[in-house]
Structure 1
Amino acid sequence: MTGWLTTHVLDTARGRPAAGMAITLHRLRDGTREAIARVVTNGDGRTDTPILPAERFTPGTYELTFHVGDWLAAEGIAGTEPRFLGEVPIRFGMAEAAHYHVPLLVSPFGYSTYRGS
């Protein structure tokens, strides 16, 4: 079995997928933070392919950065500047070759995440 990483984003304030949100995946290693993937969510709030596919998977520490503030502005959702939420980083470890699913549930003033399936 090999590992891979997927994500999706749900707009909990409006009860729908967060389509069009930019996400950056970073790998953290030896004190460095390297961007290894950039994607945008589709109409289902998901990425069209795994954000880290099996052929590029290695165990380690990663960070998904969800560009929430830019997405809120693009959606026309009013807010102060700076917004309460701008970028939302989720740092996590992947220790074994398995499917990791890290979703984001977001509103203009809060978010949550979990390891999904």
Structure 2
Amino acid sequence: MGSRGANAGFTLLEALLATAVLALLAIPVMSAFRTAAGQDGPRVDQFEKHEFAISVLEERVAQRDFSAATGVYEDRFSYEVRVDPYQTETRTRYDDLIAHFELTITVDIVNDAGPPVAVSQIIARKAAP
């Protein structure tokens, strides 16, 4: 049995060959990452629309501002606030005292081809006399 002795290790040719094989294996992996990263744009936009719609809804509820409105925020988001009457499924003895309505916020990005996002909440408040 021959032994390489103290100079045991890889030759330059073996190291270059291993590097070439790794590079060939890395090409499809990097291509998949690049493709996946390019597809994140629409998901990020949808997430931003959803977060903005929730913040508008929470602000309206906190300020008890239940009026319809439309607008544009920082030249990026266009939004619409809609207030629709909401009829509960069953009648109760409190229906004359409490009014229900649905507050819906629809958000879109200005000049965006993606679908808008709508968030809604059912609000109950004292009925007008």
Q: TM-score, normalised by structure 1?
A: 0.32
Higher relative contact order (CA 8 A, sep 6+): 1
The answer to which structure has the higher helix fraction is 2
Larger Rg: 2
Q: TM-score, normalised by structure 2?
A: 0.30
The answer to which structure has the higher strand fraction is 1
